[in-house]
Amino acid sequence: MIPIVVIDTSVLISALIGVHGPAREVLRCCLKGKYAPLISNALFHEYEDVLTRERIQNLCPLSSNEIQYLLSSFYSVCEWTPIYYLWRPNLIDENDNFLVELALAGNATYIVTNNMRDFNNSELDFPEFTIVKPEEILRGK
């Protein structure tokens, strides 16, 4: 069974900025069909917003056109998932709540993030999915 994943923006940025590393490998696995990534309107808009920032583009070895091509390829393997019910686990970073909502709506196995501390001390517990770093999902955690 292919793991269903939610890829946090921090992982996507790391994959684009780093030439090697676990974040880039996670993105590669999504493109090869080893993971089934979910996306929602909120996550799509966050990806688009962050990746068009000049500071991020300056760190990325890819041109703007190459970034757009890669994003289009990534979006083509994502399952667009509508969110009908809003959960408020009251995460440290309130802006990450929508990732939990997406994981629940799409029956995700994992949320993949570089910001583990943002998901600690949630007021709600969701045993349906696991929050992991890119290197952990690659090890098969």
Q: Is residue 92 helix, strand or coil?
A: coil
Q: Which of 6, 17, 18, 15 is nearest to 44 (CA)?
A: 6
Q: Is residue 38 helix, strand or coil?
A: strand
Return d(Cα 39, Cα 53) in angstroms, integer: 20
Q: What residues of the chain score a pLDDT lower than 50?
A: none
Residue 128 confidence (pLDDT): 79
The predicted-structure confidence for 60-84, as pLDDT tens digits, reads as follows: 998 889 989 999 999 999 999 998 8
> Domains in the chain, ordered, with CATH?
1-87+131-141 (3.40.50)
Return d(Cα 69, Cα 121) in angstroms, integer: 37
Residue 93 confidence (pLDDT): 61
Residue 94 confidence (pLDDT): 65
Residue 134 confidence (pLDDT): 97
Residue 95 confidence (pLDDT): 72
